[in-house]
Chain A
Amino acid sequence: MKALELFLGILTAVGGFVEIGELTFALNAGSKFDFSLLWVVALGTVGIIVYGEMAGRVAAVRKQPVFHLIRERAGLTAGLVTLIAANLVNMLTCAAEIGGIALVWQLVSGWPYRPLVAGTFVLLTLAVWFLPFKWIERVFGLLGLLMIVFVAAAVASKPDWQQVSGGFIPQLPKAATSSEMWLYAYFSVALFSSIVLPYETYFYASGAIEDRWKPKDLNLNRIIIIGGSVLGSSLAVALVILGSQQLSGREIEAQLPGTAALAAGISLGRWALIAALAGMVFAFGGAAVETTLSGAYNLAQFFGWPWGKFRKPREVPRFHAAWFILLLLSTLLILSGVDPVSVVEYSIVFAVVTLPFTYFPMLVIAADKRVMKSFANGWLSNTLGWLFLVLTTLAALCAIPLLLITHGGRG
Chain B
Amino acid sequence: MHKQGKSWGLWLVPAIGGLAILSGVYAEIMRRPSTAQAELRISLSELRSEITESGLLATHAKNGDPLRNFVREHAHQLEKHMRATVDDVRGRSVKAGEAKAGEMAARRGESALASLHLLGAEPAPSATVLGDVASTMDSSSQELSRLVSTLSQQPR
A residues with a Cβ closer than 8 A to B are 72-75, 77-79, 81-82, 103, 106-110, 250-253, 255-256, 258-259, 261-262, 265-266, 269-270, 273-274, 277, 353, 356-357, 360-361, 364-365, 367-368, 370, 393, 396-405, 407, 410-411
Which residues of chain B are near A259, meaning CB under 8 Å?
Answer: 53
User: B74 and A262: CB pair below 8 A?
Assistant: yes
Which residues of chain B are near A353, meaning CB under 8 Å?
Answer: 16-17, 20
User: B74 and A256: CB pair below 8 A?
Assistant: yes
| Shortest distance from the beta carbon of B108 to any chain A beta carbon, whole Å | 15
User: B20 and A397: CB pair below 8 A?
Assistant: yes
User: A74 and B13: CB pair below 8 A?
Assistant: yes
Q: How far is the CA of A103 from the CA of B72 in the complex (A)?
A: 13
| B110 interface contact, C-beta 8 A | no
| B100 interface contact, C-beta 8 A | no
The 8 closest A-B pairs by CB, nearest first: A73-B5, A78-B9, A400-B24, A401-B27, A74-B9, A75-B9, A258-B74, A78-B13
Which residues of chain A are near B116, meaning CB under 8 Å?
Answer: none
Q: List 15 A-B contacts (CB under 8 A).
A: A75-B5, A78-B10, A78-B14, A107-B69, A107-B74, A110-B69, A266-B56, A368-B1, A396-B20, A397-B16, A401-B23, A404-B28, A405-B27, A407-B42, A411-B45
User: A401 and B64: CB pair below 8 A?
Assistant: no
Chain B residues 1 to 52 lying within 8 A of chain A, measured CB to CB, are 1-2, 4-6, 8-10, 12-14, 16-17, 19-21, 23-24, 26-28, 31, 38-39, 41-42, 45-46, 48-50, 52
Across the interface, name the chain A residue whose C-beta is closest to B77. A256
| Shortest distance from the beta carbon of B21 to any chain A beta carbon, whole Å | 7
Partner pick for B49 among A251, A360, A368, CB 8 A cutoff: A251
Which residues of chain A are near B31, meaning CB under 8 Å?
Answer: 404-405
- Among B26, B41, B73, B78, max chain A CB count under 10 A is at B73
| B86 interface contact, C-beta 8 A | no
| Shortest distance from the beta carbon of A36 to any chain B beta carbon, whole Å | 20
User: B8 and A360: CB pair below 8 A?
Assistant: yes
User: A81 and B42: CB pair below 8 A?
Assistant: no
Partner pick for A270 among B20, B66, B81, CB 8 A cutoff: B66
Partner pick for A106 among B41, B48, B50, B73, CB 8 A cutoff: B73
Told that A262-B74, A273-B66, A411-B45 touch, could you supply 12 new A-B pairs with CB distance under 8 A?
A78-B14, A79-B9, A107-B74, A251-B49, A255-B49, A256-B78, A259-B53, A265-B66, A270-B64, A397-B23, A400-B27, A407-B38
Q: How far is the CA of A79 from the CA of B4 in the complex (A)?
A: 14
Which residues of chain A are near B14, meaning CB under 8 Å?
Answer: 78
| Shortest distance from the beta carbon of A185 to any chain B beta carbon, whole Å | 12
User: B69 and A108: CB pair below 8 A?
Assistant: yes
Across the interface, name the chain B residue whose C-beta is closest to A106. B73
| B107 interface contact, C-beta 8 A | no
Q: How far is the CA of A253 from the CA of B21 in the complex (A)?
A: 29
User: A251 and B70: CB pair below 8 A?
Assistant: no
Across the interface, name the chain A residue whose C-beta is closest to B30. A405
Partner pick for A253 among B46, B57, B64, B78, CB 8 A cutoff: B46
Count: A-B pairs, CB below 8 Å: 151
User: B8 and A74: CB pair below 8 A?
Assistant: yes
Q: If the complex has contacts A107-B69, A270-B65, A411-B45, are A262 and B56 also in contact, measured as CB distance less than 8 A?
A: yes
Partner pick for B56 among A250, A253, A256, CB 8 A cutoff: A250
Which residues of chain A are near B50, meaning CB under 8 Å?
Answer: 255
Q: If the complex has contacts A367-B1, A411-B42, are A75 and B16 also in contact, measured as CB distance less than 8 A?
A: no
| B60 interface contact, C-beta 8 A | yes
User: A75 and B64: CB pair below 8 A?
Assistant: no
Which residues of chain B are near A396, meaning CB under 8 Å?
Answer: 16, 20
Q: If the complex has contacts A356-B16, A411-B38, A411-B45, are A255 and B67 also in contact, measured as CB distance less than 8 A?
A: no
User: B20 and A262: CB pair below 8 A?
Assistant: no
Which residues of chain A are near B26, meaning CB under 8 Å?
Answer: 401
Which residues of chain A are near B19, meaning CB under 8 Å?
Answer: 397
Which residues of chain A are near B4, meaning CB under 8 Å?
Answer: 364
User: B6 and A75: CB pair below 8 A?
Assistant: yes
User: A82 and B56: CB pair below 8 A?
Assistant: no
Which residues of chain A are near B69, meaning CB under 8 Å?
Answer: 107-110
Q: How far is the CA of A396 from the CA of B46 in the complex (A)?
A: 28
Across the interface, name the chain B residue whose C-beta is closest to A353. B20
User: A407 and B39: CB pair below 8 A?
Assistant: yes
Which residues of chain B are near A401, meaning CB under 8 Å?
Answer: 23-24, 26-27
Q: If the complex has contacts A75-B9, A364-B4, A405-B31, are A256 and B73 also in contact, measured as CB distance less than 8 A?
A: no
Which residues of chain A are near B45, meaning CB under 8 Å?
Answer: 251, 253, 410-411
Q: How far is the CA of A20 from the CA of B126 in the complex (A)?
A: 33
| Shortest distance from the beta carbon of B93 to any chain A beta carbon, whole Å | 16
User: B8 and A393: CB pair below 8 A?
Assistant: no
User: B41 and A411: CB pair below 8 A?
Assistant: yes
Q: How far is the CA of A393 from the CA of B15 in the complex (A)?
A: 11
Which residues of chain A are near B46, meaning CB under 8 Å?
Answer: 253, 255, 410
Q: If the complex has contacts A77-B9, A256-B77, A364-B4, are A108 and B70 also in contact, measured as CB distance less than 8 A?
A: yes
Which residues of chain B are near A405, meaning CB under 8 Å?
Answer: 27, 31
